[in-house]
Structure 1
């Protein structure tokens, strides 16, 4: 299996490196490995859905 690093996942998914690290630490990405301080992410891994928001993209709040 081929792996990429967190900085490579940042470029692939368009999110911050800290967010990628948090997703790895929370086991949101399957089949990850950690060697020392570096996370190894499977090359074919999909970007996890961001569970921090409850609204869909483009949806507005009516008041």
Structure 2
């Protein structure tokens, strides 16, 4: 478990809500996220997924 962080730690690190982190995990948008019972474990080196609501400018 040393190579993983909690949903709360990821939320603090990325500046988004815990619920948003949980939804990203459920949608398989965070690479390597694993579910243990009711909790998610997120790899320490996981990248914050891009916001799908925002379009990239060309």
The normalised TM-score by structure 2 is 0.87
Residue 23 (1) aligns with residue 24 (2): yes
Aligned pairs for 1:34-53 within 5 A: 34-53=35-54
Structure 2 residues without counterparts, runs of 5 or longer: none
What is the CA-CA distance between 1:55 and the residue it aligns to?
6.6
User: How far apart are residue 53 of structure 1 and its match?
Assistant: 2.9
Larger Rg: 1
Q: How high is the TM-score relative to the length of structure 1? A: 0.81
Where does structure 1 differ by over 4 angstroms across 4 or more consecutive aligned residues? none
